[in-house]
A and B are shown apart, each in its own frame.
Chain A
Amino acid sequence: MTTYELIGNGIAAFLTLCIFSFLYKDNPFYKFAERLVAGVATGYFTMLLFWTNFQDKVWQPIFLNGEYHYIIPAILGIIMWTRFSKKYSWISRYSIAFYIGIGSGVSITVYLYTYLFKQLQATIATPLTFDVAGLNIFLVVIAVVSALVYFFFSMPHKGLFGAVSRFGIYIIMIGFGAGFGLTVMGRIALLVNRIIFLKGWLLELFGG
């Protein structure tokens, strides 16, 4: 590690400890780091947006390449700024309508395909066999139907419907339990990364 990197990582270590100080209680060091990252993040994104997006998709096509059809979406994008005016904010609805309409139109077919058709196909089109794999497929079908019944609130959960719904919530709890177990791993990983970083920097600092 060069001296510059050592100093840079030292600043990073200081800011890391500022955030960790929140665990004791909220304090000026934590607030300082929190506001600093908000400013730095906004500044980073501003310049990224300017140099790689505005430059490449607006300025260069219209003013350098002569692709004048981009003037229409550019105007639609600029009129989004009328949202700041109480008197003229209704003009921004034209831009919003354009991209909401496009977004909604394209999403219908692909949502149905991805979330419904392919999942239904996988649930019911897999052949049942008389082995462990077949038993698992049967359990999946039962579990999917039970969970769907649980989320169907247009009928009262009574009698047979209620019993299936009850089985469904038990299956749902298994799913959520699995999710929690994986969440613990994920959260711990975030902390360990910072500990490994601090250890690395301290070793470099003290010549370890």
Chain B
Amino acid sequence: MKREIPILLVGITGFAMLIQYFIPTGWSEFIFTYSQDWVIVIGILAMPLGIWSLVKANVSKLKVPGERFYSAVLLAGFLIMVLTCLKRENLEMGSLHMDMFTYVLVPIQATIFSLLAFFIASAAYRAFRARSVLATILLLTAFIVMLRFLPLGPISTLNLKAVSWILSVPNMAVNRAIMMGIGLGATATAIKIILGIERTYMGHD
């Protein structure tokens, strides 16, 4: 019963949603609307799972000497954000809560990802070598695409046309092929889930 009923539930709901698409009646739309609405409510109540896990893990790390300070910083940041948002109005600009968002969260998140610029330069230098025919093709294409930023006069005009062609012909064709494969794979997985063949989402007993 611990596995059989959930599998049956997946099959019934999945099949219902599949055939609903082909039945344009009032009750069909009713089922569709309420199923989406209910999933959103489930999601809202399930989201705090991750938040609770993070807080619990860091509270337990307060006992570990090397991690104590950093866990305290994390929990302090969390508590400050909670305590500065005790009214809905604090979600609007001008509140301390949104100032923490603007002056702490935004710059740190933006800067963490800006480090990638350095890493990509390092990767380009160390790994981007014409070791084989395939690597040479990749390198030359990347070269042509990167050259479009350089103001090289008439060469730039030719280069922009080349980049436009690369993006709309070979690049487009490759992504089309990949997307077709993904579409088939995702559809097959969804069918396997509905039929109960794929059960990894249930975890283990």
Contacts and interface: CB of A to CB of B under 8 A. Distances in A.
> Do A's and B's CB atoms come within 8 Å in the complex?
yes
Interface of A: 8-9, 11-13, 15-16, 18-20, 22-23, 31-49, 51-55, 57-58, 69-70, 72-74, 76-78, 80-81, 83-84, 89-90, 93-109, 111-112, 114-116, 119-120, 122-123, 136, 139-140, 143-144, 147-148, 151, 168-185, 187-188, 190-191, 193-194, 197
Contacts of B117: 187-188, 190-191
Contacts of B141: 173-174, 176-178, 180-181
Interface in B164-205: 165-184, 186-187, 190-191, 193-194, 201-203, 205
Nearest to A180: B142
Interface of B: 2-3, 5-7, 9-18, 20-21, 34-49, 51-52, 54-55, 70-71, 73-82, 85, 88, 90-91, 97, 99-120, 124, 133-134, 137-146, 149, 163, 165-184, 186-187, 190-191, 193-194, 201-203, 205
- Sorted nearest first, the 6 A-B pairs with minimum C-beta distance are A115-B183, A43-B81, A181-B145, A77-B45, A105-B17, A177-B141
A171 B170 contact: yes
A171 B174 CA distance: 7
B52 to A, nearest CB: 8
Contacts of B190: 104-105, 107-108, 111
Instruction: Tell me whether chain B's interface is mostly helix, strand or loop, or mixed.
Output: helix
Contacts of B81: 39-40, 42-44, 46-47
B31 to A, nearest CB: 10
Instruction: Tell me whether chain A's interface is mostly helix, strand or loop, or mixed.
Output: helix
A55 to B, nearest CB: 7
A15 B111 contact: yes
Nearest to A14: B107
B93 to A, nearest CB: 12
Given A38-B74, A173-B134, A33 B88 contact: no
Given A109-B18, A176-B138, A180-B138, A101 B194 contact: yes
Contact of B10 (A19, A47, A97, A112): A97
The winner among B16, B21, B97, B115 for most chain A CB atoms within 10 A is B115
Contact of A42 (B54, B170, B177, B187): B54
Contacts of A105: 13-18, 20, 190, 194
B14 A104 contact: yes
13 contacts: A16-B108, A37-B108, A39-B76, A40-B80, A53-B47, A84-B49, A99-B43, A100-B10, A173-B138, A173-B141, A187-B114, A187-B119, A190-B114
